[in-house]
Chain A
């Protein structure tokens, strides 16, 4: 009897955990799903609002297609416990003002009108079944128009495209060690996609945005990506702001010929892909510009670097070292950091004894705050204080680092928040309309720009929407004015569109501390030309 009770208790606990603690996306999905059920909406499988009809997803190929909603509630193994959230399939989104993170994610997830309700009644929906049936038979040709493609009325022109919708994959950071602020990075891009839907969609098609959580873990992210591509049959990825997923996704996108428009661009591998189009600058560019600026303006000579031990972190250290040496400085030592060891303490102790004049970092705000507070406890602050990659550029960072964080310089890839430009106003108006409490950072802007470009490119394709045509259009992007500073251009083999860095410094403003712009735009002349 006891084991049975244990099983029941454990199952209940784990289900509760999945429901409450898994991720914001999960909660949002559960909420939307329950709303749909309460409203008596047909299930996804019935094509009533789930973003799926049998024709959409290959019918027999994906028999669990009620899972458009179901997977939201139950963490899928493929996505590492993350939620499946079919926005287009989830009915309308009513962004709630002043929403908490949970509420924020519950809103803004869905297309304004579930397209599939109308879809099943239209000829386009019938034609949609044809190519997907092919997909079920294992014969889709990515990038090539389907039977309905190219017609004057649109139709199923490629995988994930129907007469009324385009299925878009998005992977965000909704849980894990940086989940509490990672969700904001997704919301800006999703706000733009939502706005596109709210203003009529793309040439009559709504964007059906499927959201997954990677918990800032590349393995989970790739599981989610495979699920989106191979089971959900998405058309393209848009604006993934998680470097740990975007990096390994790049060769996968090439292999499957799936465009990823608006990648975060923080990791160098993203610039090697033919089908990946990053919008933000890389950590290497940040390191180049920080090293140069600190050498020229602060006479930085002896530098110590604390970094998260991943490929991007190691690239940051190497790039900083290469440039600072050109100005007669050196990286005296560098040290990896984790959440659970004495690393920040020993790092500060070493920096003190080695007479370091500048501490630079590639960290998340949490470890950075710990390091600054540890330095304060040791009565220590280097001559040039601290600097770091864009991971520091969050509005709340100055509040947490306190007085010892004053003087910290953070790199960002777009115009800083304290400026008042028409582009920034437009960006904030759109994003805050859907997510009023969002923390504007480097990647909220990148997500917004990526989604904007994605929408523009799709519109430029007319009704004949194919992966190949989208890639070709992206490869022709020229001097796109983001409104947030950099102008972006892509061409075949050259996807490093953004080599621009702005520097913001934590300064005292009365009793508070906040970021103020001190330099930029700075163009990275050391960056590779890809």
Chain B
């Protein structure tokens, strides 16, 4: 029973990690049709800016992470203004996010005092605070609890914004049919910066939540981003509930494999690929020609 409870807790913990990253990607895809691969790279940039201010320059924690998130938001606005807006199609913009990702990942090595060790310890005001889980022989840190709460808040917030607010409706309208949206008076040039600024800001927030749990480096977040990309396909790149469900399923499978079948080498690493294949086959079996057929349909 102890092991089972541990499986649930650890599965939830890493499911939250995958969910948080994946939701940011879904937001951009659902509203612009662009697959934002730069998510991890933006997080690295925001995280290192915050770490620099907090750890190296002695800034208080909250202003430091706020500046880090603002840097991410500004990066999103600039990227939309000078790159995305000039590109003809979402596919080209997707490729541009890949280039941005590579650029930002390498940025860590450019600033000499950022890359002089394998990773950096990211401070947290909740360090060393933990909660013991009864019956599980297991403790959860406050940072992990905050991560869990954040996922719930993001999920509810994004769902509400996209479904219930004028901004959200405008985002979806521009994505569904730009011409019709323009005829209805929606200004695309105002909506797109909001989407990109919000998406990059979410990347920044994600890093601030994850870095105290993991370490701040330029590889861990990126690696998690690739797994998150897998689970976004579970939701067809548009459904937030299915994406979160996929993230939880992936992490539960990984954790249960590691805890119950430790001698089955490689299976844990194989789950993202297995899930991806199953999802794609299922979609084709259902008669869906391709993901993009439903990519920008409202939830």
Contacts and interface: CB of A to CB of B under 8 A. Distances in A.
Nearest to B265: A336
A347 B140 CA distance: 15
A487 interface: no
Given A366-B118, A378-B139, A21 B110 contact: yes
Contacts of A6: 87-88, 92, 95-96
Given A102-B112, A377-B130, A378-B138, A341 B254 contact: yes
A461 interface: no
B177 interface: no
B137 A22 contact: no
A179 to B, nearest CB: 7
Nearest to A102: B112
A336 B265 CA distance: 8
A342 B117 contact: no
A21 B88 contact: no
A2 B96 CA distance: 12
Contacts of B103: 13, 16-17, 20-21
A179 B102 contact: no
Contact of A10 (B3, B99, B128, B269): B99
Closest 5 interchain pairs by CB?
Answer: A21-B106, A100-B112, A340-B223, A2-B88, A13-B99
A9 B87 CA distance: 10
Nearest to A10: B99
Interface stretch (A273-281, A348-356, A469-477): A348-356
Interface of B: 2-3, 6, 10-11, 13-14, 83, 86-89, 92, 95-96, 99-100, 102-103, 105-110, 112-113, 115-119, 121, 128, 130, 132, 137-141, 144, 213-215, 217, 219-220, 223-224, 226-227, 251, 254-255, 258-259, 262, 265, 268-269
A373 B214 CA distance: 9
A379 B119 CA distance: 23
Given A9-B96, A349-B259, A24 B139 contact: no
Contacts of B106: 17, 20-22
A346 to B, nearest CB: 4
Contacts, number: 166
A3 to B, nearest CB: 7
A366 B217 contact: yes
B99 A2 contact: no
Contacts of B3: 349, 353
A69 to B, nearest CB: 21
A180 interface: yes
Contacts of A519: none
21 contacts: A2-B86, A6-B88, A6-B96, A16-B103, A17-B99, A17-B103, A103-B112, A340-B227, A341-B254, A349-B6, A349-B10, A349-B259, A353-B2, A366-B119, A366-B215, A366-B217, A366-B220, A370-B214, A379-B132, A400-B119, A400-B215
Interface in A333-373: 333-336, 338-343, 345-347, 349-350, 352-353, 364-366, 369-370, 373
A343 B262 contact: no
Chief secondary structure at chain A's binding surface: helix
Contacts of B92: 2-3, 6
Chief secondary structure at chain B's binding surface: helix
B142 to A, nearest CB: 10
Contacts of B254: 341-342
B115 A13 contact: no
A493 interface: no
B161 to A, nearest CB: 29
A364 B118 contact: yes
Nearest to A23: B109
A352 B11 CA distance: 17
A34 interface: no
Contacts of A349: 3, 6, 10, 138, 259
Contact of B215 (A14, A309, A350, A370): A370
B229 to A, nearest CB: 12
Interface string A95-112: 000001111000000000
A339 B118 contact: no
B102 A339 contact: no
Contacts of A246: none
B258 A335 contact: yes
Contact of B102 (A2, A17, A341, A400): A17
> Which of A2, A27, A341, A366 neighbours the largest number of chain B CB atoms within 10 Å of its CB?
A341
Nearest to A340: B223
Given A101-B112, A402-B121, 6 more contacts: A21-B108, A177-B219, A334-B262, A342-B258, A343-B268, A352-B138
Contacts of A364: 118
Given A181-B117, A365-B118, A20 B109 contact: yes
A21 B141 contact: no
B110 A339 contact: no
A262 to B, nearest CB: 24
Interface in A1-44: 2-3, 5-6, 9-10, 13-14, 16-17, 20-24, 27
